[in-house]
Homo-oligomer: A and B are copies of this chain.
Amino acid sequence: MQRLTVQPQLVDRAYGAILDEICTGRLAPGQRVVQDELAERLAVSRQPVLQALLLLKRQGFLHETGRRGLMVAPIEPVFTAHLYELRRALDGVAAHGAALRHTASSATAGRALIERGRRVVSSGDTAAMIAADIAFHRFIYELSGNKLIAETATLHWHHIRRVMGQVLREAGRLGTIWDEHEGILDAVLRGNADEAEARSRHHAERAAQALIAELTLSLEQAV
């Protein structure tokens, strides 16, 4: 393998590719992960792969196996619960900040996202639903103006995406979440920070309960 041209973000490419495979389930929970194999598949050397795996391990997407090497982290209800507990706090503070910072253009953008969300729900495309959900929340994170929140939350959302994908194979009743989203957005655009925060936390709470119920159910079936 020769690589004459320099494309200096092989690590990022590897990271993104592997993360995506994990989140979409192409790399299944529990599956063993081997550097050589990934390196070949991505047409890079083991080095960038190694570095990407190191990151993914730190971020909890990969676990060490007792034996040699890594495996894709299993999906655990307890971890998911912790994830949502954190998300509740994060979403709350983000919505609070967003309400203090919203502008006219953000109003248009926000309404468009909600519009899109409702449209996608009626289309029945699960992956698109998840994407729209993420897009809305990311919008709030960015509107909050707090880079750290955006980063932290984005990381967590990859985990969430994975769980959602696992659970919502045949689309749950994700319809109602867009009413809640709209409620959050309205509060934000009215500049009512406290209400935005409360609604956000409540939304995360509800989402968590629904998801975890579904998750434990599907895990029980699997056994």
Which residue numbers of A lie inside 8 Å of B, CB to CB?
11, 50-51, 54-55, 58, 60, 79, 82-83, 85-86, 88-90, 92-93, 97, 146-149, 152
Contact A83 B11, beta carbon cutoff 8 Å: no
| Closest 7 A/B residue pairs (Cβ) | A89-B89, A89-B93, A82-B146, A82-B148, A86-B148, A51-B51, A85-B146
If over half of A's interface residues share one DSSP class (helix, strand or loop), that class is named, otherwise mixed; here it is helix
Which of A11, A92, A93, A97 gathers most chain B CB within 10 Å? A93
**A11: chain B residues within 8 A (beta carbon):** 54
Q: Chain B nearest CB: distance from A53 CB in Å?
A: 10
Which of A97, A146, A149 gathers most chain B CB within 10 Å? A146
Contact B149 A152, beta carbon cutoff 8 Å: no
Which of B54, B85, B148 contacts A97, CB < 8 Å? Answer: B85
Contact B89 A85, beta carbon cutoff 8 Å: no
Q: Beyond A51-B54, A82-B149, A86-B148: 4 further Cβ-contacts under 8 Å?
A: A54-B55, A85-B93, A89-B89, A89-B92
A-B contact pairs, 19 of them (CB 8 A): A11-B54, A50-B51, A51-B51, A51-B54, A54-B55, A79-B147, A79-B148, A82-B146, A82-B147, A83-B148, A85-B97, A85-B146, A85-B148, A86-B148, A86-B149, A86-B152, A88-B93, A89-B92, A152-B152
**A86: chain B residues within 8 A (beta carbon):** 90, 93, 146, 148-149, 152
Which of A11, A79, A86, A147 gathers most chain B CB within 10 Å? A86
**A51: chain B residues within 8 A (beta carbon):** 50-51, 54
Taken together as a complex, chains A and B put the C-alpha atoms of A11 and B93 apart, in Å, by 34
